[in-house]
Amino acid sequence: MNEDHDSAPIAKAKKVGVDHVLAIGSGKGGVGKSSVTALLAVALQRQGFKVGILDADLTGPSIPKLLGVDGMPKTAFSSLIPPVSPNLGIRVMSVNLLLDDPYKPVIWRGPLIANVIKQFWEDVMWEEIDYLLVDLPPGTSDAPLTIMQLLPLDGFLAVTSPQSLSAMVVIKAVNMANMLSIPVLGAVENMSYAICPYCHQAWEPFGSSHSEELEEHNIPILAKLPIDPSIAKLGDEGKLETYDNAEVMQSLLAIATNK
């Protein structure tokens, strides 16, 4: 049974010191949403934009690990100052930065999760930011609903993978954004293909793309990203901001800047 999403309306927060707020989500887990978010932030920061990431996936936070961000946020005037990535200075706010043990699970119910996300927006000094990227949790329930209702989002970018199952779940997330009148930028198909290290030909480990299913629902495919072992390696090492595939980074940059 679906609850009316207008049953408990939330007043939109104001954008203070933030020019663009983009949400990156999929509805489905395991499609590389956090990696795409981190790489998009890297692409923008390299072009001279000031970028922040609000890691709203509270029960599965990945952004600090991917970008090598650690340490408790400092405070100033009752606000949190987000730590920055070591090389490019991308600002990051994540629940994992507030835990004394990064392996400790966050076992919270919906209302508490929603309240923390609200605080991450209101009580963090996101000043002088050109782009704030919001890494959404999977699903279409409390946490993503709160974000879409509360934050002044300029756009929603979906992340999918080639399988039909992924397309089906992503369409649900996009329909949620449409119901809440959030502009949908389109979708990134992640893990779309791989390049053989021996013959250098592209092949499709997950089979042929089902991107036409998204296009039938007016969701354009903006980029198709490869399976690249170096992304996993650099992410595990906390060095994803050193990733240097120019084609991938340019395609992500074009999505955010509409160029």
Mean pLDDT for 176-198 is 95
SS3 132: strand
- Cα–Cα dist 231/228, whole Å: 6
pLDDT in tens, 24-60: 999 888 899 999 999 999 999 999 999 999 999 988 8
Rounded (10°) angle between helices 142-150 and 164-179: 40
What's the pLDDT score for residue 164?
94
Structure confidence by residue, pLDDT tens digits, 80-122: 999 999 999 999 999 999 988 888 888 877 778 888 888 999 9
pLDDT above 80 (res 8): no
Identify the weakest region by mean pLDDT among 17-21, 146-150, 183-187, 235-239: 146-150
Mean pLDDT of 2-18: 64
Per-residue model confidence as pLDDT tens digits over 188-233: 999 999 999 899 999 999 999 999 999 999 999 999 999 999 999 9
pLDDT of residue 21 exceeding 60, the answer is: yes
Per mean pLDDT, which range of 65-69, 84-88, 149-153 is the poorest? 149-153
Which neighbouring-strand residues pair with 59? none
Higher pLDDT, 144 or 230: 230
In the prediction, which pLDDT does 144 show? Answer: 87
Write down the pLDDT at residue 1: 42
pLDDT value of position 9: 54
The pLDDT value recorded for residue 188 is 97
25 contacts 160 by C-beta, under 8 angstroms: no
Give the model's pLDDT for residue 218.
Answer: 95
Residue 2 has pLDDT above 50, yes or no: no
Strand partners, 187: 158, 221
pLDDT tens readout for residues 239-256:
999 999 999 999 999 999
What lies within 8 Å, CB to CB, of 193 at 6+ separation is: 202, 203, 204, 205, 224, 226, 227
